[in-house]
Amino acid sequence: MEFLKDHIPPVRRSLLSVPADNRRALEKAPKLDCDGVIYDLEDSVAPEKKSEARDNLAQAFSQQPQSQQQRIVRINPLESEFGADDLKLVAKIKPDAVALPKVEHASEIAEVVDMLAQFAPVRPIALWAMIETPKGVLNASSIAAESKGLKCLVVGLNDLRKETGVLPQAGRAYLVPWLMQIVLAGRAYGVDVIDSVFNDFKDNAGFASECAQGRAMGFSGKMLIHPAQIEMANQHFGPDPQSLEEAEAIVSAFEQPEARSLNVINLNGKMIERLHLVQAKTLLAQAAMILERKRSR
C-alpha cells in the first residue's frame, strides 16, 4: 500500500454530534467507536449556556490533547453574538476542523479562514461547511469550488426541511435531488460529503435504510446524534467483507505477470480496469486504518 500512504482519504463513516454543554456526553464521546466527534456549540446549546459550553470544550481538550477520533467543533454563525468567541476558542484548542453552520456563500468560509489566521497563524485548521438552507444547496458547487481549506460538506436536513417545507418522509424522495446536487458538488472539487442526522434514534430499521441510501448516493458517512447509531453507520459506510474480498482479488489479479502490461482484464466474467485497482487499494488501505485504530484503542 506504499503508493497510497499520503493519499488515503480519511475514514468518515460516523460523526457523532455532542452538545458541548452536556458534560456527561463529553466524557463519554472519546471512548466511543465513531470516526469523528462534532462538538456542537450551535443549535443544541441554549444561548445562556454558550459560555459554559466553551469552557467545557477547553477543559475536555486540555485533558486529552491528542485523539484517535477526528475532532470537529461546530461554531455559531459568525454574524451571531457568539461566533467570534467560538472562533477564539477554536484557535486555542486546535481541533482537526471547524464546522460552519448554514453556509450559503464561499465568502463565509474565506472570512473564517482569515479570522483563524489572525487568531492562530501557525497551524491552519480545516473547514467544514453545513449545507442546510435553500441557498446553501443552490450554491453548493461554488462553495466547494472556491473555498480554500474546505474539507467536508455536511448536510443538515432539519434546517433544510424547516426552510423549504419538505416533510420528513421515509425514502426522502423530494430531498434526493438536492442531496445528489450536494454530493456532486463535493466530489467535483475533492471535498468530502457527509449525510444528515436521522432524528429518531430508536428506529433502527429506519436508520439502517437511510444509511444504505446515503451510502448508495455516494456519501462517505453520516452525522449522528446518539451513540446507538455508531455501529450501524460504521457497518453501512465501512468496507464490508464481500467488498474486501473483491478488492483483494483485483489487487492479486493485476499482480499476475500476464496482467502487468494490461489496463483491462477479465476477472470471473467481469471487466476490471486499473481505475478499479485504485479503488480496491484505497478500500484495503482504509480497512487497514480502521483495524489499526481498533487495535490501538
Q: Is 96 annotated as a binding residue?
A: no
- Applying CB under 6 A, among 11, 12, 14, 16 the residue interacting with ligand LIB3CWND is 16
Region label for 155, one of left (φ > 0), alpha (ψ between -120 and 50) or beta (otherwise): beta
Q: Is 245 annotated as a binding residue?
A: no
Binding flag, residue 14, ligand LIB3CWND (CB under 6 A): no
* Residues 154, 186: Cα–Cα separation, whole Å: 10
**Beta-strand runs (E) in the chain:** 14-19, 36-40, 70-74, 97-100, 126-131, 150-155, 192-195, 221-224, 264-267, 270-273
- Applying CB under 6 A, among 21, 35, 40, 104 the residue interacting with ligand LIB3CWND is 40
Q: Is 6 annotated as a binding residue?
A: no
CB 149 within 8 A of CB 103: no
The number of residues making up the chain comes to: 297
Q: Closest approach of Cβ 173 to ligand LIB3CWND, in Å?
A: 18
* Residues 19, 190: Cα–Cα separation, whole Å: 29
Residue 211 identity (one-letter amino acid)? C
Instruction: Annotate 222-233 with DSSP letters as a single string.
Output: EEESSGGGHHHH
From the list Mg ion, ligand LIB3CWND, none, partner contacted by residue 226 (C-beta under 5 to 8 A by kind): ligand LIB3CWND
Residue 1 identity (one-letter amino acid)? M
Binding flag, residue 132, Mg ion (CB under 5 A): yes
From the list Mg ion, ligand LIB3CWND, none, partner contacted by residue 169 (C-beta under 5 to 8 A by kind): none
Q: Which span sits near ligand LIB3CWND by CB under 6 A: 20-28, 144-152, 167-175, 279-287? A: 20-28
- Applying CB under 6 A, among 109, 183, 225, 287 the residue interacting with ligand LIB3CWND is 225
Given the complex with ligand LIB3CWND, which of 24 and 297 has the nearer CB atom?
24
Backbone angles phi, psi at 171, to 5 degrees: 90, -20
* Residues 18, 29: Cα–Cα separation, whole Å: 7
Given the complex with ligand LIB3CWND, which of 108 and 159 has the nearer CB atom?
159
- Annotated binding residues, written as ranges, equal 74, 132, 159
Would you tell me which residues interact with Mg ion (CB under 5 A)? 132, 156, 159
Would you tell me which residues interact with ligand LIB3CWND (CB under 6 A)? 16-19, 24-25, 28-29, 40, 43-44, 132, 156-159, 196-197, 225-227
- Annotated binding residues for substrate, written as ranges, equal 74, 132
